Amino acid sequence: MRNIILILLILNAFACKSSSQDAPEEFIKGVYGNPETLLKAGYSFDSLGMNAVFVRSGSLNQEFYNNSKNQGVQVFVEFAMLNGKEYLTENPDAWPTDEKGQKSPPADWFMGICPTHPGFKAFRSEQLKNILRDYEVDGVFLDYVHWHAQFETPEPILPETCFCDRCTGAFEKARSIQIPFETVSERAAWILKNVDPEWRKWRVGVLNGWVEDMGEILKSQQPAAKLGVFHCAWYPTDYDSALYKTMGLDLIALAERVDVLSPMLFHHMKGRPTSWVGEYVSWLGQTLGVGESGKLKIWPIVQSHNNPGSVSAEEFRKVMIEGSKFPSSGIMMFSDQSLLEDPDKILVMKDLYTGELP
């Protein structure tokens, strides 16, 4: 009898363990921006069906963090990586240089930075370490992961950068070549004419290095936290392959370095139909083999923001549903302010988060 009881206990323990391992992860239902505004307006995250917040690092504070955790909400922190307008004020040598040897002008509201500037990388690294020392987060989502450019508009701004002496010197060393000119414009012209594929590949490698380094900081301090990336949602051939050639992004390589990809599916900004959101999620999942292995997650961020023009509550509902389709395992919208400006959008989100989404 004792042997039978022992066997039953062992089988029961094994079944519980297997059940726990096989249990699907909770579908992420979040809001991006400064979600504390929802609390100040009298809402609670749990009553809205939310289980996650994606908060800009500049909006993170202890009271908000505690309130979120008390409501059972996961806290993911957006971490701006390669936007550098403020830093450039005191460090002009970090300004991205175009193929003519000039400072590349701001791309609309965005001002990127030279990714090889060692001081800036040290600056961002210390900022991330400070966040992780103060808060135990569920994840960090890197933002502005691209060379200087602007894609959040109907007509992208795609300058050629960066051809500063630091970048071209690093390229020479990495590829064991010698550029036979002295001036920036001459060196840039030679690179683009003679070694363009190698130049593009090197630029991608620089960004991959940034992601790896930020990920190492995160995992060394908080191993269980997820590393995510907000990224430009273009297909490889869009705008003459600008995702790779200009932005410096290889999504397959990026997927090997992170836990979550969050394509920025801002349909209205890009003049796309709502159906494009679901189509892109499906394409990304197929391209990266999401679902075949359990590691990589896709959590799209969709547009509720009324710029340009206006996004209706019904349009918002459609992109939320499209962005939640397989292989997506999470969804969020940009941003909290757009919800507060239109109570109908809050109702849409609540209906979806408390009933219609997984």
- Each domain of the chain, given as residue ranges in start order, spans 26-94+109-158+201-356
Burial level of 142, CB count in 10 A (0-12/13-18/19+)? Answer: buried
Residue 25: pLDDT above 90? no
Residue 5: pLDDT above 90? no
The CATH architecture assigned to 26-94+109-158+201-356 reads: Alpha-Beta Barrel (3.20)
Q: What percentage of the chain's residues is helix, strand, coil (to nearest 5)?
A: 50, 15, 35
Among residues 61, 11, 18, 7, the alpha carbon closest in space to that of 37 is found at 61
Phi, psi of 104 (to 5 degrees): -70, 125
- Give the tens place of pLDDT for each residue, 188-244: 999 999 999 999 999 999 999 999 999 999 999 999 999 999 999 999 999 999 999
What pLDDT sits at residue 293?
56
Contact 150, 246 (CB under 8 A): no
- Give the tens place of pLDDT for each residue, 86-132: 999 999 999 999 999 999 999 999 999 999 999 999 999 999 999 99
- Give the tens place of pLDDT for each residue, 164-184: 999 999 999 999 999 999 999
Burial level of 66, CB count in 10 A (0-12/13-18/19+)? Answer: exposed
Contact 311, 344 (CB under 8 A): no
Distance between CA atoms of 155 and 108, rounded to whole angstroms? 11
Predicted TM-score of the model (pTM)? 0.92
- What is the CA 313 to chain-centroid distance, rounded? 25
Q: Report which DSSP code applies to 57.
A: G
For residue 56, what are the β-bridge partners? 78
